Amino acid sequence: MSSELEIQQLVEAATKSVHALRESQESAIAEQKKHGTLLADTQEKQAKIEQDIAVMLGVIDEIKKAQLAQAEAKQNGGLSAQEVEAKTALHKFICKQALTDSEQKALNTLNNNDGGFLTTADTSGRIISRLRDFSPMRRYANVKTTGKSRLTGIINNGRNAYSWGAQGATVGESSTKQFGEYQIDVKKLIAYPKATEEMLEDADYDIEALIIDDATMGFAEGESYGFLLGNGVLQPRGLMTVPTAYTGDNTRAWGTVQKFKTGVNGAFAATPNGGDVFIEAAMSLRSAYRSGAIWAMNRFTLAAAMKLKDSDGNYIWQPTWNLQDAPFGTICGIAIAPDFDHMADIATNSLSIAVGDLNQAYQIVDKRGISVVRDNITSPGNVNWYISKRTGGDVVNSEAVRFIEFKA
C-alpha cells in the first residue's frame, strides 16, 4: 500500500461492499418469505453471498493489519516490529547482555554459517553508507550488490559496429563488435574491534555504535587499499595493478590500460613542459569517458602538480568556484580527487596518477550481509568482535582510464 489514505479508502470500499451484499441477501430472503417459501436457488445464492462476505471480511482484516504494520514501522524509523526486535537482540548480543526467549529467536533468524550473526539490514546500510565517505573508489566506481559470491557481466571489448550503404545494395559486414564476459569474485574483508569487559558493563558507553564505527573505519582502510592495489587473490584486483602499455585504444590488448611517461625518472619534466603529460593523458580519452573523468592521486602528488606552470608562467592547476563537483580545482578542465591515499607517491617508474571515468572503468561488487562473531575467550578481560563483509572489484573497461608514469 502506497499511503495511509489509500489504505483507508480500500477499507471503506470493502466495508461498503459487505454491507451491500448483506442488504441484497436480506432483501431476497424477505421477498420470498412473503410467499412462505425459500427456493433452492435462493439458498444457493445465500451460501454464495455468505462466502463472498467472508472473503471481503478477510480482505478488510488484512488491510487493517497492513495499516497497523505501516504505522508501527513509521513509529520505529521505517522498521517492522520483527526488524526492531532483531535489531535489539543484535545490540544485546554485541554488548554481551542477556536475551529474552523472543529476542533469542529473533537473533537466530540472523544466524550465519560462521558461528556468528548477520547484522540487520539497517545496520548494514549504515555501514555501507559511511564507507562512501572514507573509501574514495566506492564514491567514484560503479557499485552493485548481489546475493551470490560472484558477479558476472557482459563487456563490449570493441567499437560499436556500423556501416554505410547505398539504397538497395547488399549490406556487408562491418567491423565485428566483440562481446565478452567478466567475472568478479567477492573476497572476505574482516575488521577486529575490541572492548574491555568494563566498557561493556558501563552504561555510559554506546558499545554498538563504537564497534560499528571502528569496523567501518577498518573496512574503509582495507577497501581503499584493495580497490587500488589489491592483488586479486585474497583481495580485489586493484585499479593500479592491471597490465599497462604505451599504445593506444586501437592497438593494445583489451584489459590493458594505456599509460603516459612524464619524461623524467621520479619527477615531472621541467617547466614549461611539465604539464604536457596531463594534456596527453586527458585528451587521449574518448569524449564518452572524458565527460565523467576525474584525476585520482594522493595529496603529495597533487602538491607537486599544483606547482607546474606553462610557458607563460600560468599554473596548469586551476581553482574553481564549483566546490561541490571540483573542490580541489581542475587540470585540463577535469576535477581533481586527491583523497586516494594509497596511490603511489612520486618515485622512479611509479604509476602515481590516474585519469578517467572510474564509474565505467571499475566495478565494485558487494555481497549482501555483514557478519558479527563475538569472542570473549581469546583475550581475557577483553571482548573481540570479528566483523566481516564480502566485497570484490576489478577493472571492466580498460579504455575508460589512463595512467601517468614517472619515467624517462
Which of 52-66, 166-180, 294-308, 365-379 shows the lowest mean pLDDT across its residues? 166-180
Which pLDDT value is given to residue 256? 96
Q: Give the Å distances, CA to CA, from 58 to 19, 51, 356.
A: 14, 11, 58
- Tell me what the mean pLDDT of segment 125-153 comes to: 90
pLDDT over 90 percentage in the chain: 44
Q: Give the Å distances, CA to CA, from 310 to 68, 263, 265, 296, 306.
A: 68, 16, 20, 22, 12
Q: What is the pLDDT of residues 211-232, one digit of tens each?
A: 888 899 999 999 999 999 999 9
Write the CB contacts of 273 (distance below 8 Å, at least 6 apart in sequence).
Answer: 263
Residue 359 has pLDDT above 60, yes or no: yes
Within a 10 A sphere around the Cβ of 225, how many other Cβ atoms? Answer: 17
Of 140 and 206, more confident: 140
Of 41 and 265, more confident: 265
Q: What is the pLDDT of residues 253-266, one digit of tens each?
A: 989 999 999 999 99
Residue linked to cell 603529460: 277
Within a 10 A sphere around the Cβ of 228, how many other Cβ atoms? Answer: 23
Confidence band, pLDDT 50/70/90 cuts, at residue 1:
very low
- Tell me what the mean pLDDT of segment 324-332 comes to: 91
Average pLDDT, the chain: 82
Which pLDDT value is given to residue 351? 98
Q: What is the pLDDT of residues 161-213, one digit of tens each?
A: 667 777 777 766 555 556 778 899 999 999 988 888 887 777 566 777 788 88
- The three cell numbers of residue 402 are 589512463
User: Contact 118/204 with Cβ under 8 angstroms?
Assistant: no
Q: What is the pLDDT of residues 20-40, one digit of tens each?
A: 767 776 776 676 666 655 555
* Domain limits, the chain: 4-75, 78-110, 117-159+173-408
- The topology under which CATH files domain 117-159+173-408 is Major capsid protein gp5 fold (3.30.2400)
Which pLDDT value is given to residue 78? 56
Residue 376 has pLDDT above 90, yes or no: no
Give the residue from 162, 194, 192, 198 showing the smallest Cα distance to 177. 162
CA pseudo-torsion sign 72, 76, 79, 84: negative
Residue 309 has pLDDT above 60, yes or no: yes
- Tell me what the mean pLDDT of segment 136-158 comes to: 88
User: Contact 297/379 with Cβ under 8 angstroms?
Assistant: no
Confidence band, pLDDT 50/70/90 cuts, at residue 88:
confident
Which pLDDT value is given to residue 360? 95
Of 347 and 115, more confident: 347
Confidence band, pLDDT 50/70/90 cuts, at residue 68:
low
Residue 326 DSSP SS3: coil
Residue 123 has pLDDT above 70, yes or no: yes
Which pLDDT value is given to residue 104? 67
User: Contact 99/89 with Cβ under 8 angstroms?
Assistant: yes
387 beta partners = 191, 372
Most confident option among 64-73, 169-178, 206-215, 271-280: 271-280
- Cα separation of 179 and 359, whole Å? 19
